Amino acid sequence: MVAGPVSYEAERLQMVTEQLAARGICDERVLAALAVVPRHRFVPTGQRAYAYEDHPLAIGQGQTISQPYMVALMTEALQVSAGARVLEVGTGSGYQSAVLAQMGVQVYSVERVPELAAQAESRLREIGFGERVSVRVGDGTDGWSEAAPFDGIMVTAAARQIPRALLSQLGSTGCLVLPLGQRELQGLVRIRRGTAGWEEEYLGDCRFVKLVGVDGWDEA
């Protein structure tokens, strides 16, 4: 896939070394993908100087692009390989979709804000990920039933409860990764089937914008 301009390459590699590997991200496929995907292409032009810093950035419509470490952590937690089918709830800028696509994953991404969905789809197509990422506008808490089952599901907005529709669309060996909790602070949780039912694993604190939808918050 196409990398960013040469002037950003050193910043990207420094991001991978100092923000990701140094903080415990060890999946080489994840590190390699973030070393290639041009994050600066997914933020507003005025924010590009900060694209590889370790914090989220505003992308308009009250939404943000997650910090690189959180993108890496959630991607690693999903535990998917090339050829996997993944549902992403909350397309946002399209950066998370691009990272997964760079890893050879087929991504189905749902975004509730039409403007963001259109921008992300156009950007992904321009960079070269159009065939690996499908984007549509809708209520992400409903998932994408026509494309189910999924090998993994990632929710990139804070849920106050686990959307049951998403669990029903998860394949038997897949996992759901999502921020779960209150408005201001959540815990990143990985959910998968166990011998006694659904099992939850806490992966650390996080802070995301709210997941809005029928099975989410009423408003952003």
Q: How many CA atoms lie within 13 Å of 52's alpha carbon, on the beta-carbon side?
A: 19
Per-residue model confidence (pLDDT) at position 213: 85
Q: Is 204 left (phi over 0), alpha (psi -120 to 50) or beta?
A: left
Q: Is 104 left (phi over 0), alpha (psi -120 to 50) or beta?
A: left
Q: Residue 28 falls within a domain, yes or no?
A: no
Q: Residue 29 falls within a domain, yes or no?
A: no
In 51-196, DSSP assigns E strands to 57-60, 63-65, 85-89, 106-111, 133-137, 150-155, 170-181, 186-194
| Options 7, 66, 122, 168, the catalytic residue | 66
| Average of per-residue pLDDT across 9-33 | 97
Q: Residue 13 falls within a domain, yes or no?
A: no
Average model confidence (pLDDT) across the chain:
93
Residue range of the domain that includes 91: 56-206
Percent of the chain beyond pLDDT 90?
Answer: 86
Confidence of residue 62 (pLDDT cuts 50, 70, 90): confident
Q: What is the pLDDT of residues 111-146, one digit of tens each?
A: 999 999 999 999 999 999 999 999 999 999 999 999
Q: Residue 175 falls within a domain, yes or no?
A: yes
Q: Residue 85 falls within a domain, yes or no?
A: yes
Q: Residue 65 falls within a domain, yes or no?
A: yes
Q: What is the CATH number of the domain that holds 156?
A: 3.40.50.150
Q: Residue 60 falls within a domain, yes or no?
A: yes
Number of domains in the chain: 1
Alpha-carbon distance 88 to 37, whole Å? 17
Could you confirm whether 66 is annotated as catalytic? yes
Q: Residue 148 falls within a domain, yes or no?
A: yes
